[in-house]
Amino acid sequence: MITSERITSEVLDRATQGKKGVLILKCVTSAYREEEINAILEFVGKGNGLILIGEHTDLYGMVTNLNPICEKLGYHMLPSALQDIYPRKEER
């Protein structure tokens, strides 16, 4: 485990020491800077893993703060445990 005030490519490279690794972002309560998001995406692009853990609600912005990363990977976390099971009009 490594702790750092900011996520950078250098910090992630130092943590993995030339091996593959998994970055776990758990219950994030503040937004990441664009350069941190880019470092995370670069880490994943090198074949490393990423686990994003939020909350079943958007408590303290835990979902909102992960979505900028999720959306660049093609996902979107909902800010609620409730999900609409009916297709949208344009999907019918």
Two structure tokens written together for 68: 């900028």
When pLDDT is averaged across residues 7-16 and rounded to a whole number, the result is: 94
In a 10 Å sphere around its CB, with 0-12 CB exposed, 13-18 middle and 19+ buried, how is residue 65 labelled?
buried
In this predicted model, what pLDDT tens digit does every residue of 38-87 receive, in sequence order? 999 999 999 999 999 988 788 888 889 999 999 999 988 888 766 556 66
How confident is the model over 64-77, as pLDDT tens digits? 999 999 999 998 88
With cut-offs at 50, 70 and 90, classify the pLDDT of residue 5: confident
Q: Which residues pair with 50 in a beta bridge?
A: 23
Cα-Cα end-to-end distance for the chain? 47
Calpha distance 53→11 (Å, rounded): 20
pTM confidence score: 0.80
| Cα 56-61-66 angle, rounded to 5 deg | 80
